[in-house]
Structure 1
Amino acid sequence: MKLSFLSRVGFFAVVFTCVSSGFDSRENTIAGINNALNTGVFSCNNVVSFFLARYQHLIQLNAITLSSDALNIAYAMGILIASGNSRGALFCIPILPKDYNLHEVVLEGISVSSLGGQTTNPYDRTRTPGGSSGGIGAAIATNFAVFGTGIDTVNSLRSSASANSLFSFRPTPGLFKRGAIARNVRDLAVTLTVMVSSGYDAADNASALAPPSARGIDYSSELSGRELSGLIFGLIKGLFNLTVMPWPTLVLTLRAAGAAATSEKETVYNAIDIATLEVQTLEYREFTDACPKNSNVSNAASNPVNKLSIQNLTIVLDSTFSAGNFDALIYSEQKIFVFKLGSPSQSGPNGILTAMTGFPVVVVPAGLSPSPE
């Protein structure tokens, strides 16, 4: 089970190794690897080699492809580290960009492609890893790298995080175009800090909308010594599957940690109605410039009913925050258990809520769901 936490500042969405010379690639973090590199315990070449060796033991997941230059790049980085010229928090941190193995039809959420085949879920090899960033999700859960990046237009990163018990975020539109998947929230915060500090991206006009004050912020600094005490959460009951997560349990857990938690029953938060909103065009928006000017796509009429529904949903969501003075809204990222291999698509995603309204969101694991079998 994954929970999504939504706020006007940030949504929180509630989802055989190689051991040698003391280095264990399993569950290693950005801080842990940086410490090992900077103290000379391991070289950059050592670190990359360990992750590559782990991948060779689990290649049958069909999650990623490898760069043939990985070790050469690591060796060059090692020379810079040895001379005191490492460059930033992510220097020599093994990462995975999104397009290693992803679903070709994008919105289906099952991660199968003609190039990489069907990616399988590392927790249950008979099921899919979500998608479209299923390759990244399966790979990070299996410790093939420290974190992965991708574009979450509708549900891509969050679906995969939910299916693989990982953390993920979809940033505020204009702050940065991409999000990330990681095994812990601190690595996610460090990644966001580095991404946002990159500033304006000429390939992404939306990045110009980010206020200068958003850059230079260390998002990981907010994680030290923070507690839930005094925070106010609203739980969107209509987006939960109450058969797999008893409602009172979640409320009691939050209250036991010192937070206030109330249920939001606004009828607009209906998973079935939200799912009917047209989102397919969002997934392909980046490619529409390549279409002929007289194509049906470029001349297609917009759906005024759809636009009105999205506008109404955004207004209601904003008013929900104001009325309840909420720090965040919480909902289940996925209502339906991840599907078996061979299924045509995954149903029950709730990621459309933030995709349509533009609110930022973070996915946080909240325990493992019971198998439906």
Structure 2
Amino acid sequence: MGSTSPDLDLDLDIQTLTIATFHAALSNKTTTCTDLIQTYLTRITKYNPTLNSLINTNPHALSLAEEKDLETQSLLSESKPFPPLHGIPIIVKDNISTKDIPTTAGVYALRTLSTRTDSDVVSRLRDAGAIILAKANLHEFALQGTSTSSLGGQCLNPFDGSRTPGGSSGGTAVAIAAGLGLVGLGSDTVNSLRSPASACGIVGFRPSWGRVSVEGAVPVSGVQDVLGPMGKTVRDVRAVFDIMKIGEREVNEGEGKGEGEGSRRRIRIGILDAYFGLDDPETDLSEDLVHENEIVQDIVNEAISAIRSSSGSDIEFIHINPTTHPDWRFTTLYSTADTQIYEFQERLNTFLQSPTVISPYHSLEAIAESGDYDKNAVTEVFTATLKDPESFSLSSPGYQTRLKNISILKDSVKQCFEKNDIDALIYPHQRQLVVQIGTTVQPRRNGILAALTGRPAICIPAGFSPPTSTAIQGVPVGLELMGRVGWDEELLDLAERIEGILQKRRVPNMEWI
């Protein structure tokens, strides 16, 4: 089925299209699912060879769209509503299983890995009417933040081709920002949904731990892994999350209680001052880095001022003094509480040996021996477990120590929320701009606090750095909000409101491609 009229789809702006506007166009019969998929496939052909955002497109995407168009006609004729994600093209990070497209984790050795079933989230999205359009590039095994992989290559930032898109869910973010897909899925072990959202000027949401099933995803850490949605707007992200989420939320009732029925409690947001400046006391900092940090601080502080001045009397900001809480620096938390290095090998081996997985290799050791991976992109999470599997395992004393440290951290953050009676913390996702191509590590990101405590966190566009010769619109800077335990829906409400105040999303000018 092709377009039934030459005028179909011409009025849709692919770069500003949302789930709601697409469904409205379907209802008005001014476009079709086939038109939309074909438009995206054309853009993928044009832009992806340069951006390297996608590894595989779904060979059945057009035929699936044709089926959706028949459903559309039937639903409209019977005056029935569309399923929530009817005909919506979704980009899926390539560490999330899809039964009809390989699932590679960006690793050349796993380029033919397939699964007999969809992951739980993909199954839910298909049931809600979505079309899986493509599988996205990511950082090798999702272990770092520049989206460099042996299979997909180096993913480029659509706002600045000399820079990375953050990561590890960089391919998904680039595809959404560049108009190669409408919404997307990513994973987040430390920063990976919010880092590329910040770098590419879109929205990335890390749900509370346990709100979304991770069944069928290539694992890194059972303690920290979550799957979450990415999109151009908070509303689209919420629409996808509403389909992904499972079970009842676990809510810590002691945090940020309201004042009781009949009274509207003011929203209180804590400004996490310790997460703004550079915290490298033993490192010689370059003038360029200091300047970048000043740019980020100015953008986020201006955003906070705009929220404060536009929100009337029901949003209040308070500063969280760094001396009132323990050391929450990334370097400290990574070295004392992050569990990846202890979990990765055993979790990955279990996945590769699952009866639903058809893999050319069945262990991390076998992949390492093959040599078919990017040795510059993997981290010590990959190498240390192979060199010393006894020290870095689920049964090691070091792992138990980190679990205890996570418990202590959770109590510390809970006390911060309770003592200050706050609904959320606010801070820049990262303290410097996204790094240049050729760098395999993205430093100074702030996402680990939510990752270790299992709290919901969302990154939305806060502004852009000044234009340069390689970034004529500037480089995006993201603002992160971390919420109360289990209060994902309330955090999304707050983020949508702040998004409406700031309105900082831009469409990337990709004339450089």
TM-score, structure 1 normalization? 0.80
SS in 2 for 1:315: helix
- Match for residue 171 of structure 2? 135
- What residue number does 1:79 align with? 70
Deviation at 1:262, TM superposition (A): 1.1
Distance 1:338 1:283, change over 3 A: farther
Quick check: 1:192 aligned with 2:241? yes
**CA distance 1:139–1:212, shift in 2 (3 Å):** closer
Is the aligned partner of 1:322 residue 2:418?
Answer: yes
Structure with more contact order per residue of length (Cα contacts < 8 Å, sep ≥ 6) = 1
Identical columns (%): 31
* Counterpart amino acid of residue 51 in structure 1: Y
Could you say which residue in structure 2 is the equivalent of 1:181?
A: 230
Match of 2:506 in 1: none
CA deviation after TM superposition for structure 1 residue 158, in Å: 1.1
Q: Which runs of 5+ in 2 are unaligned?
A: 1-7, 95-135, 214-226, 252-263, 278-292, 354-362, 365-387, 470-513
CA contact (8 A) 1:103 1:113 kept: yes
Please report how far the alpha carbon of residue 69 of structure 1 lies from its aligned counterpart in structure 2 after TM superposition: 1.3
Helix, strand or coil: the match of 1:269? coil
2:316 to 260, 265, 289: 260
Deviations 1:88-139 (A, max 9, x none): 1111111101112111142221111122111100010001011111110111
AA paired with 1:68?
P
Per mean C-alpha deviation after superposition, the further-off stretch among 52-61 and 42-51 is 52-61
- Corresponding residue of 2:338: 278
Give 1:182 shift. 0.4
**Deviation at 1:305?**
4.2
Secondary structure of the residue aligned to 2:157 is coil
Supply the AA of the counterpart residue of 2:43: R
Q: Which residue of 1 aligns with 2:360?
A: none
User: Does 2:47 correspond to 1:58?
Assistant: yes
Q: Does the residue aligned with 1:58 lie in a helix, a strand or coil?
A: helix
Q: For residues 61-91 of structure 1, give each alpha carbon's deviation from its aligned partner in whole angstroms, at most 9, with x where no partner exists.
A: 1111321211111111111111117751111
What is the aligned counterpart of 1:211 among 248, 252, 259?
248
Match of 1:347 in 2: 443
| Contact in 1 for aligned 2:326/2:412 (Cα 8 Å) | no
- Provide the rounded CA distance (Å) in 1 between the counterparts of 2:346 and 2:195: 20
Task: Report the CA distance between 1:362 and its aligned residue.
Answer: 1.2
Query: TM-score of the superposition, structure 2-length normalised?
Result: 0.59
In structure 1, the residue corresponding to 2:84 is in which secondary structure?
coil
Does the 8 A contact of 2:51 with 2:158 survive in 1? yes
Tell me if 1:243 matches 2:339: no
Distance 1:80 1:133 in 2: 32
Counterpart position of 2:37: 48
CA gap of 1:316–1:299, structure 2 versus 1, over 3 A, is: closer
The Cα RMSD (Å) is 2.8
Instruction: Summarize the Cα distance change of 1:283–1:365 in structure 2 as closer, same or farther, 3 Å threshold.
Output: farther
Give me the whole-angstrom Cα distance separating, in 2, the residues matched to 1:34 and 1:118.
34
Q: Between Structure 1 and Structure 2, how many residues are aligned?
A: 329
CA contact (8 A) 1:109 1:156 kept: yes
Query: What is the deviation of 1:229?
Result: 9.5
Gaps of 5+ in 1: 1-18, 200-209, 215-227
Cα gap change, 1:232 to 1:213, in 2 (>3 Å)? closer
Cα deviation for residue 315 of structure 1 reads 0.7
**Is the alpha carbon distance of 1:91 and 1:112 closer, same or farther for their aligned partners in structure 2, counting shifts above 3 Å?**
same
C-alpha spacing 1:274/1:332, structure 2 compared with 1 (3 Å): farther
Separation of aligned partners in 2, 1:263 and 1:164: 28
